[in-house]
Structure 1
């Protein structure tokens, strides 16, 4: 028996906040700010966005490792934040996240039509997130009420290692019965999510405008002057350079066209690991 490269995509693995729901990815970032504030430590929204895409405990640990945030913590508690302190912050973050997730649960405009177009192309819809399972249950419930149901969902605490490790993406491959990782495309608005897809051997698509990197509401995004939008796209493209996405698009609305382009590349014998 000989190895046969896939000729077409079989599945997409979609992120959640900033990709399918919550334009601007406000739900997770704002809660980090509030959780730290309850401990008397100031963290800006921009700082909170930095490690977005990681599992939430790892996200808080990464924030606490930032020298300026660590010093603010020391000023309040007379010590640098330990793993036990990170866990205490995480345990405050979780109920806040569950309580307020519905405030930012709206589907990204055009997402349902784009996903319907992907299904029309015969693709399965996998998904994963930096949210733990208890939060994902609420996110999935709210999305279902708005008309979006993924074929499979993997939370960050359902695998040994969250992003940027490939475990969540690969769990989708197994659950969806995909025959080859090269027949999958990972779509995300964060660099850990793109690294996840890259490490899993998938095609990757980075979203520049609907998620964490731009950090604006849909209305603010649509109101950006053309020159400012072009500058922001360029800035965000530079942010993604290290994770090497195969494609960059504004929002999920453009994904069906990218899928067609990837199918053409697969038909020519191209593979994601080669680029």
Structure 2
């Protein structure tokens, strides 16, 4: 049986109108970085300072630590501004799904590449709180490295006292979400509310692919059936 369901934020449980990706790209391109859409997609879902550092360098910018700090500070300021003026909203059906999961005794974790400050800004605007809508939030600046490393998942499990990886599912809308779940040894779920297609998730090896987190409460995977499949 599943004891813990872990979800990404933007694109998986929350509609931020893709503002995080607009701001992330602008934070690098305003300094002269140039790269393809395909390259940019590889950094979706990762910890944002690390993404900025790599996108600057991939994009041809010789960036030292001070330069990266400056670009990241702009990213945080702009994201804080846009989220304050036009707050993100839950994706359709997400709040009832989370309530149903918690009602069944399944713990809910949110993991994100956002910093704790930005993540809490979003949760505050939604009226979500730890111990209320969710059980635990783990942000990208609270672990040694973000996705695709497994640390966000592992910290969520440790904080909530869940030891068995077979009792954990982790859902997200990016390639890094699937790879992080694979490295953590938990069931990986690709969610089609982001930018990846079903075929792309299949190529990534996602163990389950669903249209939305909203349909998760009705899926057999909650009984621990890892072979429930993505078909």
TM above 0.5: yes
| Residue in structure 1 matched with residue 154 of structure 2 by the alignment | 170
Residues 43, 115 of structure 1: alpha-carbon distance in 2 compared, 3 angstrom cutoff: same
How far is the alpha carbon of 1:190 from its aligned partner? 0.9
Residue of structure 1 aligned with 2:223, choices 241, 263, 266: 263
Residue of structure 2 aligned with 1:122, choices 59, 80, 105: 105
TM-score (ref. length: structure 1):
0.73
| Residue in structure 1 matched with residue 4 of structure 2 by the alignment | 11
The DSSP-based 3-state class of the residue aligned with 2:206 is coil
Residues 49, 101 of structure 1: alpha-carbon distance in 2 compared, 3 angstrom cutoff: farther
Instruction: Tell me the number of residue pairs that the alignment of Structure 1 and Structure 2 aligns.
Output: 226
The DSSP-based 3-state class of the residue aligned with 1:91 is helix
Instruction: Tell me the distance in 1 between the aligned counterparts of 2:20 and 2:67.
Output: 19
Residue of structure 1 aligned with 2:214, choices 253, 256, 261: 253
How far is the alpha carbon of 1:186 from its aligned partner? 0.3
| Residue in structure 1 matched with residue 167 of structure 2 by the alignment | 183
Instruction: Tell me the distance in 2 between the aligned counterparts of 1:145 and 1:240.
Output: 29
Residues 13, 261 of structure 1: alpha-carbon distance in 2 compared, 3 angstrom cutoff: closer
How far is the alpha carbon of 1:203 from its aligned partner? 0.8
Instruction: Tell me the distance in 2 between the aligned counterparts of 1:251 and 1:64.
Output: 32
| Residue in structure 2 matched with residue 239 of structure 1 by the alignment | 200
How far is the alpha carbon of 1:96 from its aligned partner? 0.8
TM-score (ref. length: structure 2):
0.86
Residue of structure 1 aligned with 2:55, choices 53, 59, 63: 63
The answer to whether the 8 Å contact 1:189/1:207 transfers is yes
Encode CA deviations 1:74-93: one digit per residue, 9 max, x unaligned.
Answer: xxxxxx33444332211211
Which consecutive unaligned segments of at least 5 residues does structure 2 have?
none
The DSSP-based 3-state class of the residue aligned with 2:15 is coil
The answer to whether the 8 Å contact 2:28/2:55 transfers is no
**Higher helix residue share:** 1
The answer to whether the 8 Å contact 2:110/2:138 transfers is yes
How far is the alpha carbon of 1:242 from its aligned partner? 5.1
Aligned positions of 1:186-201 closer than 5 A: 186-201=170-185
The higher radius of gyration belongs to: 1
| Residue in structure 1 matched with residue 77 of structure 2 by the alignment | 95
1:28 aligns with 2:10: no
